[in-house]
Structure 1
Amino acid sequence: MADRIITEVDELKAVTHPLRVRMLGALRADGPATATELARRFDTDTGTTSYHLRKLARFKFVEEAEQRDGRERRWQASEPTTSWDSAALSVTAEGRAAVSVMRRHQLAALDRTISAYDAAQTDLPQEWVGAAGMSDLPATLTPRSLHALEERVIALIDEFVAADAGEPDARPVMLFYGGFPRIDPPGWDDVADES
């Protein structure tokens, strides 16, 4: 699923700007748009969105889309997904900071997704209410196994997307995956079991 894997700090920093990351997400989720359309969506001006689109284009996150007419410049995401190589980027403080910013953007996207779902839940068919959700699952894994698990999750997602292509009841779904080693707070062993 990851069509582009970022290994350079400058590339990742180009997309860490809050408006840029949201515009890129919108182009991926909703298809091509003009700077004017994006400005309306994100309550800013066309000059600002044009500037940020050019910055994203410089680093090949977006590209010009097929034009509907000669008067508008439409943009599209260059790839359906982007990920980054945390190990390669973590060798510098600047890289670690950029990765941290991107994780915060992912958390913000998760929060927006959950908030929108909560607001619309009463209007959704019950089968969607029953299918939606999230979990936190503790596991004891090696780094190798955690990496392999992520690859298998992505492959499984690709398999289900292909199987559901063209299904009349298929809808866009936001999927979030994360796996981090648990870092217990100092004094964790001293905390009494409250259960």
Structure 2
Amino acid sequence: MAPDDTADYTGLRLDATALKTLAHPLRSRLLSTLRKGGPATATSLATTLHTNTGATSYHLRRLEAVGLVADTGEGEGKRRLWKAATDSHQYEPSDFVGDEDAETALNWLVRDYIRHLGEQFERWLDVEGSWPVAWRDAAGMNDSFVIATPDQVQAMNAEIDQVVERYRRVGQGNPGARRLAVYSVIYPLDLDRTPRGGSETADRS
């Protein structure tokens, strides 16, 4: 069962408890699988993720406790149907400053996202040759660079989010449309030039 593409796009701002709960190899994959594939039972999720039903059920309940997955109310016991509670989650590193456990969890989670991106993009490269050339031209990756302050980068991110939101359902109902993953990654190039403080990050008019 695929996710309902007609529903409103929903998100959840992670608090420290939710972040630390999600920062787990199986839990992060469970949430990703439910968001990508739609509602599923613990048994089918265990098969997909090559684990056992008991562990899957336990970790689904942990995710449910922090609002990341939900019981649909359909089925019972091992046939209970689970779904992702939201389409996405958000956080800012500043949310967890001073909480060493949360900062460690965040570091793990971001690295896990990077691993997941690499795995999924390599799967695309494995099958790319069998797709029409129009899709091969449209998909892919690129890179560039900007020179900006943190505030300017935040503004750029907001504009990128607006573009993605505008295109989120643009292909709805078109048989030629497909669901696509859209990633955005930003990091400093001059890693040896750590800013000394606010004077180097303030916007200059």
* Paired residue type of 2:82: W
Distance in 2 of aligned mates of 1:82 and 1:169? 29
Equivalent in 152, 162, 174 of residue 155 of structure 1: 162
Pairs aligned (count): 184
Counterpart of 1:5 in structure 2 is 13
Paired position in structure 1 for 2:134: 127
Give the TM-score of the pair, scaled to structure 1.
0.88
Q: 1:31 aligned to 30, 38, 43, which one?
A: 38
The equivalent of 1:58 in structure 2 is 65
1:153-190 Cα shifts (integer Å, max 9, x gaps): 1221111122222221111111111222334348xxxx
* Conserved? CA contact 1:113–1:174, under 8 Å: no
Match of 1:47 among 47, 50, 54: 54
Name stretches of at least 5 consecutive residues in structure 1 with no aligned partner.
Answer: 187-195
Indicate the percent of aligned positions where both proteins have the same amino acid.
27
Cα distance in structure 1, aligned partners of 2:189 and 2:94: 18
Q: Please, what is the CA RMSD of the aligned residues?
A: 1.7
Deviation at 1:111?
0.7
Look up the match of 1:166. 173
Indicate the SS of the match to 2:82: strand
Q: Which runs of 5+ in 2 are unaligned?
A: 1-8, 194-205
CA distance 1:143–1:185, change in 2 (3 Å): closer
